[in-house]
Structure 1
Amino acid sequence: MNDIPYRSALIIGAGPGISGSLTRLLRTAGIPVAIAARHIDKLTPLVEETGAIALAADASDASQVERLFAETDARIGAPELVIYNASGRVRGPIVELDPTEVEQAVAVSALGAFYAVQQAAKRMLPAGKGAILLTGATAGIKGFALSAPFAMGKFALRGLAQSAARELAPKGIHVAHIVIDGVVRGERADPSDSTLDPDAIAQSYIDLLRQHRSAWSWELEVRPWVEKF
């Protein structure tokens, strides 16, 4: 039985990890899904498996995000659920970082999220309904050495989520920020208890969508059960 209260979904920054797991769960529930990435060739196996629609877009480019939403409208209707998973990473000592690369990384993590939230809100506000989920990270809570650009982008993403939730929730739009506090299996780690299972993460996203509006969460934190914190 599908008790997810949304009829169409757009996932931006799609890949085989969390986005792949989310796509499978949503498609199993009978929800049409558009998945977007800069390079959609990598999405072919997921498209063939799930029947999702792959669309190309650079999330750091406002005009491309606007076009992405227009294409989604045409293919599956205005998305009632938008999930932003894109992020930019540049590592290194502050004195050695290339400012252009830093600008691009922050643009993907933060500005791209704003473009997506803006386009989503334009469609959801008239309907008085929708959900926007933004994928964060530990770096949005504390900045690590040699990872300033990632922290900058994720801190901005968290601020965007909090501000958007306060503005849009009273108008029927559920905005939530999910802190992924650890390494996701299949990205940079083996399947051990110290890593997060992308299927389990995706299930947490779905659980958020099922919340009654009288008890909406604006932020959720997930981490491996063996982690000390």
Structure 2
Amino acid sequence: MNKPSAIVVGVGAEQGLGAALCRRFARAGHHVLVAGRTPARLETVVAGIAAAGGSAEAVVADATREEDVARLFARAAAPGEGIAPVDLVVFNAGNNRHVPFLELEAALIEEFWRVGCLAGFLVGREAARLMAPLGRGTILFTGASASLRGKPGFAHFAAAKAGLRMVAQSMAREFGPAGLHVAHVVIDGGIAGERLLSRLPDLARDRGEDGLLAIDAIAETYWQIHRQPRSAWTHETDLRPFKETF
């Protein structure tokens, strides 16, 4: 029997959500295409998966570039001997920082939109082109608190994330009847990964035990969404630490 395969777009640090997703899918038996912009980081994730007995390969791709996304999915469409076409795709690319509204420039708005929304559209479109004819598969989008509400200093981020949420909703309504499970996961809290902990080293201490979202716990939810029976599909779910206000 051919090994199933998955794509995770937006893989960076080894202790980040993208890498945790790759490890979870590999542990479940998938061959994982580990996609991101930094070759060294991708190879570190792939090496870790291989050391644990899993199967993965690195694909350098900038998800804001249409030709890169098309090349990634062309690779997924011809996975090689013993590997089945992809049945699970996650769009996890994103960036964020605080910028006061009056200091925003058009170029920054466009940059955030390209990473947070346009790239998601490109990945979603190519995933649907590949999987819809097969009548099965899961496409998951990583959202944020800003997908639902804009906060002061984050208009650029909220605009991109809200747009991505609408892409996911439109895809779910169009492709659900064709057998594709499209879901949007709102990450409503800080993630205990390398990016946040390196920038705000005191945050984990201040939040206390389980005050941040653990990357492996988030990855488990993504996997469970993929495994849902089609008679009871989730389109949107939100995840936050038990201490997080909302």
TM-score (norm 1): 0.92
Give, in angstroms, the shift of residue 77 of structure 1.
5.2
Contact 2:46–2:58 (CA under 8 A) maintained in structure 1: yes
Give, in angstroms, the shift of residue 101 of structure 1.
2.4
For residue 196 of structure 1, the aligned residue among 213, 221, 242 is: 213
Q: Which residue of 1 aligns with 2:133?
A: 126
Q: Which residue of 2 aligns with 1:11?
A: 8
Distance between the aligned counterparts of 1:28 and 1:64, measured in 2?
27
Deviations 1:129-161 (A, max 9, x none): 110000000010111111111101100011111
Give, in angstroms, the shift of residue 175 of structure 1.
0.2
Aligned residues: 224
Which aligned pairs between 1:1-229 and structure 2 lie closer than 5 A? 7-15=4-12, 16=14, 17-51=16-50, 52-75=56-79, 78-186=85-193, 187-189=195-197, 190=204, 192-229=209-246
% identical equivalent positions: 41
Give, in angstroms, the shift of residue 38 of structure 1.
1.3
Unaligned runs of 5+ in 2: 51-55, 198-203
- The residue identity in structure 1 corresponding to 2:66 is A
Give, in angstroms, the shift of residue 174 of structure 1.
0.2
Contact 1:136–1:180 (CA under 8 A) maintained in structure 2: yes
Q: Which residue of 1 aligns with 2:53?
A: none
Distance between the aligned counterparts of 1:66 and 1:95, measured in 2?
37
- The residue identity in structure 2 corresponding to 1:31 is H
Q: Indicate the SS of the match to 1:89.
A: coil
Contact 1:88–1:104 (CA under 8 A) maintained in structure 2: no
Deviations 1:185-224 (A, max 9, x none): 0231437322000100000111111111010010010000
Contact 2:9–2:36 (CA under 8 A) maintained in structure 1: yes
Deviations 1:109-146 (A, max 9, x none): 10111111110111111100110000000010111111
Contact 2:147–2:158 (CA under 8 A) maintained in structure 1: yes
- The residue identity in structure 1 corresponding to 2:149 is K
Contact 2:140–2:182 (CA under 8 A) maintained in structure 1: yes
TM-score (norm 2): 0.86
